[in-house]
Structures are given as C-alpha cells and as structure tokens.
Amino acid sequence: MNQVNRNPDNAVGSQPIASFRSVSKRYDSNCLVVDDLDLDIVRGEFLTLLGPSGSGKTTTLMMLAGFEWPTSGNILMDGDDITGLPPYLRDMGVVFQSYALFPHMTIAENIEFPLAVRKIAPEERRRRVAEALDLVHLGSYANRYPIQLSGGQQQRVALARSLVYRPRMVLMDEPLGALDKALREQMQLEIKQIHQQMGITFVYVTHDQDEALTMSDRVAVFHQGKIQQITSPVEIYKRPRNRFVATFLGETNTLEGLVTQCAEGFADIQLSCGSILRGRAGEGVVSGAKAALMVRPESIGVKGGPGNGLRGRLVDQHFHGDHIRLHVALDGGQALQLKVKPQEGAELRQSGETVAMTIQEEDALILL
C-alpha cells in the first residue's frame, strides 16, 4: 500500500523550499551562536522558530534572508545554493519588530515601494497596492502617513509591504513584540489567515510560546544554537523530547526519580515518596537511570479512575474561575501543581486533606 507520510518531522512529497545544511555561525567570539544546524523548510508551511533570548533565532533568520552569512555550511533554496547570494536576489519579504516604515511616504507609497524598486508598471502597482491594503484591512488609510497610525496598523502596513511583490517566502522576526496583548492576539490570527489565503511559506521568529502554538504548522524549539525539537504544536506540547522543551513550552511538573524498568516505549520510575509510576520513556531511558517524570498540571486527575495512582497532601488552592489550582506535597518532599476543573469538586477540599491523584501513562513522560 502506498501511504502518504503525514509525520511532520519528515515531510515528504515535495522538495523543501529552503534548507540549512550543517550551518554554523560564530560572530567575533568563539561561541557558536548557531551550531551545526540542519533544517528543511516545507513549501507553504508556517514554521516558527521559538526559543529564549539569545538562542540563535534571529541569526538563523538573518542567514536565510542573506543579511548574515554562515561561518560554515550551506543554505539552499529550491535546491540551489544561495549561501553567498545577497538579500535582494533572494526574493524574500522580511518584517522586523520595529516597523521601519518610511515616515515621509504615505501608507500606499510605503507599500508600493518594493514594486517601484522592481520596476513594475504603474497600473499594476496601483492594483497590487489596493489588494495588499485590503488584505490587511487598511483600505481607507492609503493616504495617511505612518505617524497617523497605531502600532498595530503600522505593523500591518509592514506586513502588506512584505507581501505585495509576492515573495517566495516571508520572514518575520518578533513582528508583534511591541504590541499589547489583545492586539497581538488579533494580529496573530490575521497573519495566520493571510498565510492561509496566500499559500506562501512563512518563517516566523518568536520567544512567545502561545504565539508559536497558535500560529504554526510546525515549531522548531531553539536552545543554545541548536534545534531541540521540530514538529507540530500538538506534538511538541504533548511529547516534548527533552526537559528543555518540556519546561520551555507550557507548565510542567518535574518529579525526579530512578527508573526501575523500561520496555516497549514505557518505563517505571520510583519517586522519593516510594510510589512507582509508569510513563512513556524518552530517548536514552534505561533501567537504573536517574530520570524525571514530567506531567502537565492539567493532566493530573482527582476523580479517581484508571491510571497511575498517587497520594499527597493539599498545601493550598487558588480559584481561577475556569480552573482551580492545587498545590500538593508528596511524602519525601516533592511537590505537584494541579489544574482541575471546578466541577471536579476541588473547591470542597481543605488544606491538609489527602488528595488521591491519577496520571494516565500516556500523559506521563519519563525523560533523562
């Protein structure tokens, strides 16, 4: 049987639109800012480079755009080596955190600029500028100047300007970083919609995990110049490959222990309270290894039922409207955070009470 491979880790079927091959980058110091990076960017995808400040995201994006050059390795586009190609020959739209609009030009003139540079005929330019303005819902602002627009509107103009000449890829570096939360969330959805409408490949840099999870087809988690994991948002949240990814994305409980057995993808781990819990075994986990059980606060149940059983003592609880947060201490000094739904009866508990918890084997990860 011919099966379509839908595993986003190794997308097949078409040639990647761009690839990094063993790319490393040092600036003046000896420190590797990007460390032997291999990355295939899938045609048409929305790929997010996510990671803490200093992890090499911007450098990676700038090398793709041609504003920085690798110390070693190659960058390909549609199979051609573009490692030394200047930015203006790469056919990529770029949007930065600072809007960088031309203050003396109107909104329409700003958006028209890349078309004028490319010597597109005036009539075609006008048509495309109108189209781009519509796309970012700024049709009535054509004749205003940047200073007359809000931050969010200016960033929309920057986006329209990067899209207007229909580049092969759009690269964005923290484009919403300067906006307040509500506007940022609205713009996230708009950018995602534009991506879906246009079908262009987007590579997006952010340090904001919510943004990455909301917008992306795939997320590449960066740490110390290396991609720690690259896969779909759901996979990266549910099956983080290592402790860095597990703790960087979302909240997680980390319970240190000793692996007592490991077989067929699952392992048992003994915690300092004496309990032995079963979970999915991560890379390199073997019997006798020191490891940690990682479990999300929302994946610990208090209603009983099947799964790993664990008992602890309620230290305190806080009501958050849609959920209640419980802080539970285990014998032996370890602590757990739980997020439970109010209808699970958690509000009836008293501090000091014993809490019987369950954790599904599927939701527990055992990582070195």
Q: Which residues bind ligand ADP (CB under 6 A)?
A: 27-28, 33, 51, 53-59
Instruction: Select from ligand ADP, Mg ion, none the partner in contact with residue 102, using the beta carbon and a kind-dependent cut-off of 5 to 8 Å.
Output: none
Rounded to a whole number of angstroms, the minimum distance from the CB of residue 238 to ligand ADP is 24
Rounded to a whole number of angstroms, the minimum distance from the CB of residue 283 to ligand ADP is 24
Contact set for Mg ion, span 30-69 (CB under 5 A)? 58
- Token digits for 257? 């222990």
Classify each residue of 131-140 as buried b or exposed e, where b means 16 or more C-beta atoms within 10 Å of its C-beta.
ebbebbebee
Residue 275: beta bridge partners?
A: none
**C-alpha distances in angstroms, 38 versus 54, 73, 76, 220?**
19, 9, 11, 11
| 19/206 with CB nearer ligand ADP | 206
- Token digits for 313? 């003592």
Question: Does 155 sit near Mg ion (CB under 5 A)?
Answer: no
Q: How many C-beta atoms lie closer than 10 Å to residue 76's C-beta?
A: 18
| 112/173 with CB nearer Mg ion | 173
Rounded to a whole number of angstroms, the minimum distance from the CB of residue 55 to Mg ion is 8
Rounded to a whole number of angstroms, the minimum distance from the CB of residue 228 to ligand ADP is 13
Instruction: Select from ligand ADP, Mg ion, none the partner in contact with residue 51, using the beta carbon and a kind-dependent cut-off of 5 to 8 Å.
Output: ligand ADP
Rounded to a whole number of angstroms, the minimum distance from the CB of residue 204 to ligand ADP is 12
Positive or negative, the CA dihedral 300, 302, 306, 308 is: positive
d(CA 288, CA 259): 5
| 48/58 with CB nearer Mg ion | 58
Nearest to 168 by CA among 35, 18, 303: 18
CB 142 within 8 A of CB 108: yes
Rounded to a whole number of angstroms, the minimum distance from the CB of residue 273 to Mg ion is 42
Instruction: Select from ligand ADP, Mg ion, none the partner in contact with residue 44, using the beta carbon and a kind-dependent cut-off of 5 to 8 Å.
Output: none
| 63/330 with CB nearer ligand ADP | 63
- Residue 27 identity: Y
Rounded to a whole number of angstroms, the minimum distance from the CB of residue 101 to Mg ion is 20
Instruction: Select from Mg ion, ligand ADP, none the partner in contact with residue 233, using the beta carbon and a kind-dependent cut-off of 5 to 8 Å.
Output: none
- Token digits for 27? 């600036």
| 26/144 with CB nearer ligand ADP | 26
| 58/154 with CB nearer ligand ADP | 58
CB 339 within 8 A of CB 253: no
| 44/54 with CB nearer ligand ADP | 54
Edge-first strand order for the sheet with 72-77 is: 32-41, 18-26, 72-77, 80-81
Instruction: Select from Mg ion, ligand ADP, none the partner in contact with residue 175, using the beta carbon and a kind-dependent cut-off of 5 to 8 Å.
Output: none
Q: Residue with the closest Cβ to Mg ion?
A: 58
d(CA 48, CA 227): 12
Strands 46-50 and 201-206 come out as parallel
